[in-house]
Structure 1
């Protein structure tokens, strides 16, 4: 008698499933809200990245389309201090006579290089100091570096995970673990990383989005944390004739100073840990 009874129960279950297939397969309201939120955030990130890329692309086009052919032919991306000296000599007159166009082109080129991780932004920082002086050069460099890093952050959210996993798999795991440990004092930790050469800036720009560092913390840490190193680089641009190589910028004394400044940013975290253990 048990077998027929089980058969009847299974048949009733089948009929129920056939009568109400929508209820069985339909997602819950909470799942729908999550998917909508995910889609909207992805659209916002894509829109921000595309907007920044369009900005400097249009800027580059406007500047280079109005630049005299003689000046255009002399512009090359510097790869050494000697290349930078030649570029500075060629651009001094043009930068003075067409300052607005030059600044627009400079900013567009800097953001482009920072966004797509093209080496050479340190030469652009030196050039800013040589052509604009310390104050204006520092403002230009910090603003461009922050904008380019932000653009790189958004692009990394879209396509960065496989790149970082391929280039720095172990470093990414370490960074993710450190971010998880310092969640309550994340801004202090990000400031420390920006001020000191503990991790490469390129890696920080790409990996921060992957390990879910909030953008407002990433942006503020970048804007403030890049000031000390940028000041050193821009100031060195005033004396290009005395500079032999990029390595001369960051000697032992300079690195010690940067680590001391960076230590101030994580001092609240260290003091908090001591109080907890006491």
Structure 2
């Protein structure tokens, strides 16, 4: 009787792998079983370059935000806080309206940088930033700013997650990933044969 087989996806293709991963008591390369003799820290999924790229992008964003806020004209920062409710948004709009009118270019640069940073690293609050753009800049200018910022932030989030997300998910949750890939394959086949 043949050993049971599992469906696992690797690099986008279907790969069939026997459940018996060790032969003659030796552990095969790439063994994910609990009996493997290696610890997870020994096979960290990111290369030094990928990890350095992620840290570099994060530090670049933080440094850029810090420099932008240092060069902005002085204001009463005690009244400024990230809005979490509609009432907070109204108070913030009142406090920022005069500042945005007095210093439009530094304010727009600071707003765009903050929005893109929040969108890139999936920090909650971008919906309130979108509403704030409409309240401060009007519907048309606010819409243009929000579309630009959301697109730039989502694109950079996608590239960062493609760079480091896929290896980390494969490392932390290999069984769940295989199950999810098998489910996607079954749904794709079902949809294909429905047409």
Q: State how far apart, in whole Å, the 2-side matches of 1:119 and 1:80 are.
A: 12
2:76 aligned counterpart, secondary structure: helix
- Structure 1 residue runs of 4 or more that deviate by more than 6 Å after TM superposition: 42-46
Q: State how far apart, in whole Å, the 2-side matches of 1:142 and 1:157 are.
A: 22
Report the equivalent of 2:122.
117
Q: Which TM-score applies when normalising by structure 1? A: 0.42
Please list every run of 5 or more consecutive structure 1 residues that lacks an aligned counterpart in the other structure: 1-41, 183-269
Q: State how far apart, in whole Å, the 2-side matches of 1:154 and 1:49 are.
A: 14
Q: Is the 8 A contact 1:59 1:104 kept in 2?
A: no
Please list every run of 5 or more consecutive structure 2 residues that lacks an aligned counterpart in the other structure: 1-47
Q: Is the 8 A contact 2:130 2:146 kept in 1?
A: yes
Q: Is the 8 A contact 1:53 1:112 kept in 2?
A: no
Q: Is the 8 A contact 1:60 1:105 kept in 2?
A: yes
Residue by residue over 1:64-103, the C-alpha shift from the partner in whole angstroms, topping out at 9 and shown as x without a partner, is: 1134554323221111111111111110011111111111
**Number of aligned positions between the proteins:** 141
Q: 2:88 aligns with which of 70, 79, 83?
A: 83
Name the CA shift for 1:48/1:163 in 2 (closer, same or farther; >3 Å).
Answer: closer
Structure with more strand by fraction = 2
Q: CA deviation at 1:175?
A: 10
Q: Is the 8 A contact 1:78 1:87 kept in 2?
A: yes
Report the equivalent of 1:212.
none
Name the CA shift for 1:79/1:44 in 2 (closer, same or farther; >3 Å).
Answer: same
Q: Does 1:158 align with 2:163?
A: yes
| 1:1-278 pair list within 5 angstroms | 50=56, 54=60, 56-161=61-166, 162=168, 169=176, 173=180, 177=184, 181=188
Q: State how far apart, in whole Å, the 2-side matches of 1:153 and 1:46 are.
A: 17
Name the CA shift for 1:47/1:135 in 2 (closer, same or farther; >3 Å).
Answer: farther
Q: CA deviation at 1:147?
A: 1.1
Q: Which TM-score applies when normalising by structure 2? A: 0.57
Report the equivalent of 2:33.
none
Name the CA shift for 1:176/1:132 in 2 (closer, same or farther; >3 Å).
Answer: farther
Q: CA deviation at 1:49?
A: 8.8
Q: CA deviation at 1:43?
A: 6.4
Q: Is the 8 A contact 2:134 2:143 kept in 1?
A: yes
Q: State how far apart, in whole Å, the 2-side matches of 1:50 and 1:68 are.
A: 28
Q: CA deviation at 1:160?
A: 1.6
Structure with more helix by fraction = 1
Q: Is the 8 A contact 1:60 1:104 kept in 2?
A: no
Aligned-CA RMSD value: 3.7
